[in-house]
Structure 1
């Protein structure tokens, strides 16, 4: 019996070592195939990666900051709407801490919206961005609304796209919960998650676009596979696991938001409930405009691009006028 247990233990270790090796090989290939295409900006303890587009439009137009959701990175926002917006004004798309090519200076502590807001603002300071319009998609609806609350002197307009903004009943998907665990989570992401995720990424993308269809080249152009790297998936799980508590703290304050605000969502969004999030935010933010696009699904910055671009443009133009008035009064 002792020899049998020893043999089984050795066999298990061999399988784990093999899985770790496979994970490392796949993660290295993913990194090579999806290199950074922006610039790195120093922040306390690390650096954030951002993509800066359309910088030649002049200072009379406020820049737009694009913030991506969970299981994603800045290239998702650039491919979806950033390149279109950059034809009219400057656009900054940031990899949130621990995503894409941005570092995670404080590990798990950077999962909160407050911590991420501080790092994003530090990066914008270093990059010379003063006032801006912020656009938050999905999970980053939480970050965009917090920026509008805590950095009122910097945020000139707010757009929330299928955004998570309020606590919800229930929990989170098991793989996020497992990935966020201190010990089991590390074992999970270092062994089985990357190989299995690599095999199933196309199906996962298709599910996120339901009931519409993802662009045929989405995985490549949005660098979607970057999230399959072990550390990024673990940090992504930590973000999702921390989100509900963050929203419980910040959501009662949304009545303080006083900048032009637009909210765009599908009333039947199967990922982020429009009734719990978008409609509640609309009720709290005076003067906000809620645009509902039936059938758009969750990836609304792709499936309802004309409506999304129109709302961002409207908010940006309102913010530009307000900025002109503000400067004239100084």
Structure 2
């Protein structure tokens, strides 16, 4: 059952394909869409973080196709990653949001960039967390040194090794153990890791989905056609990029790269944060987003 004050809505995005979504906050507040990463349920956005944003926004979360309570459809109806950006627009449409602030994490940050590039008229502001630029332009350091995209820091080998292991079914308890170990790696080593909290969050996600198996659809989907070099360079939508010091998937240089190749973008430091949303980072992150969305909302009036 949803918590008090939270409404759920099913969104149709293709024949036989439905997305679960929920919304909280005042009905007349500016909408804010949360876009999670690959294979992740919308419930991966912690409740306390979502509630903090809902103090000023109508906050919408949703499950991607092949995640959570949405239709697991890839094997019967393959899709492209770019289709998931269209899904995000469909969620906004279903919730009556003509324009919205968007916050994307990991793959969700890439989908947010696709929206910035292809549908800027729908976006009030964007926040990108733990992701990489959909641009072919190099990173240019302060001393003029250029680093090609292919030479930017890569994923921590320990994370790659874990991702390469096949996920076998050894029961619910073993799957919870695996997920906690995964999040321990993704969290980095600068902040305490709260294993019990993460285990409980994953237990709620599994209960929400009604299953504990893991889809590989987003890894198998066609990732071509995502580069938006010129469109991002022309971006005028206010864009905030988190620079997490302990990020093991897209190390801090990627945040600086996004901000450099994207028009009207800036970084905000998230000390100690990795490729996860730990307790210690939720307040600073929500505060930074709310400051960003407030400034973006005020900008048209100021001009």
User: Shared fold by TM > 0.5?
Assistant: yes
Q: CA contact under 8 A between 2:129 and 2:242: conserved in structure 1? A: yes
Query: Cα deviations across residues 240-288 of structure 1 (Å, max 9, x unaligned)?
Result: 35586455x235542132111111121341122221x211111012332
Q: Secondary structure at the match of 1:117?
A: helix
Q: Secondary structure at the match of 2:52?
A: helix
Q: CA deviation at 1:323?
A: 5.8
Aligned to 1:320: 297
Q: CA contact under 8 A between 2:49 and 2:283: conserved in structure 1? A: no
Q: CA contact under 8 A between 1:64 and 1:90: conserved in structure 2? A: yes
Are residues 80 and 72 of structure 1, via their aligned partners in 2, closer, same or farther at CA, if it must alter by over 3 Å? farther
Provide TM-score, normalisation by structure 1.
0.70
Q: CA deviation at 1:111?
A: 5.5
Relative to total residues, which structure has the larger helix share, 1 or 2? 1
Q: CA deviation at 1:108?
A: 7.9
Aligned to 1:39: 9
C-alpha root-mean-square deviation of aligned residues, in Å?
Answer: 3.3
Q: Secondary structure at the match of 1:229?
A: coil
Q: Which moved more, 1:134-143 or 1:111-120?
A: 111-120
Q: 1:240 aligns with which of 203, 216, 219?
A: 219
Query: Which protein is bigger by CA-based radius of gyration?
Result: 1
Query: Is it true that 1:204 corresponds to 2:182 in the alignment?
Result: yes
Are residues 219 and 71 of structure 1, via their aligned partners in 2, closer, same or farther at CA, if it must alter by over 3 Å? farther
Query: Is it true that 1:131 corresponds to 2:131 in the alignment?
Result: no
Aligned to 1:48: 19
Q: CA deviation at 1:198?
A: 3.8
- Between the aligned partners of 2:302 and 2:88, the Cα distance in structure 1 is 27
Aligned to 2:34: 66
**Matched residues, number:** 273
- Between the aligned partners of 1:112 and 1:53, the Cα distance in structure 2 is 30
Q: CA contact under 8 A between 2:175 and 2:212: conserved in structure 1? A: no
- Between the aligned partners of 2:274 and 2:198, the Cα distance in structure 1 is 16
Q: CA deviation at 1:160?
A: 0.6
Q: CA contact under 8 A between 1:62 and 1:90: conserved in structure 2? A: yes
Aligned to 1:163: 131
Query: Is it true that 1:75 corresponds to 2:43 in the alignment?
Result: yes
- Between the aligned partners of 2:95 and 2:66, the Cα distance in structure 1 is 19
- Between the aligned partners of 2:9 and 2:195, the Cα distance in structure 1 is 26
- Matches for 1:1-330 after TM superposition, within 5 Å: 38-45=8-15, 46-56=17-27, 58=28, 61-79=29-47, 81-105=49-73, 107=75, 112-166=80-134, 173=160, 196-211=174-189, 212=191, 213-214=193-194, 216-221=196-201, 223-225=204-206, 229-230=212-213, 233-234=214-215, 237-242=216-221, 245=224, 247=226, 249-251=227-229, 253-275=231-253, 277-300=254-277, 302-322=279-299
Relative to total residues, which structure has the larger strand share, 1 or 2? 2
Are residues 94 and 110 of structure 1, via their aligned partners in 2, closer, same or farther at CA, if it must alter by over 3 Å? farther
- Between the aligned partners of 1:217 and 1:195, the Cα distance in structure 2 is 15
Q: CA deviation at 1:38?
A: 3.0
Q: CA contact under 8 A between 1:168 and 1:244: conserved in structure 2? A: no
- Between the aligned partners of 1:130 and 1:193, the Cα distance in structure 2 is 43
Q: CA contact under 8 A between 1:297 and 1:303: conserved in structure 2? A: no
Where in structure 1 are there 5+ consecutive unaligned residues? 1-35, 180-187
Q: Which moved more, 1:300-309 or 1:254-263?
A: 300-309
Provide TM-score, normalisation by structure 2.
0.76
- Between the aligned partners of 2:279 and 2:69, the Cα distance in structure 1 is 23
Q: CA contact under 8 A between 2:66 and 2:217: conserved in structure 1? A: no
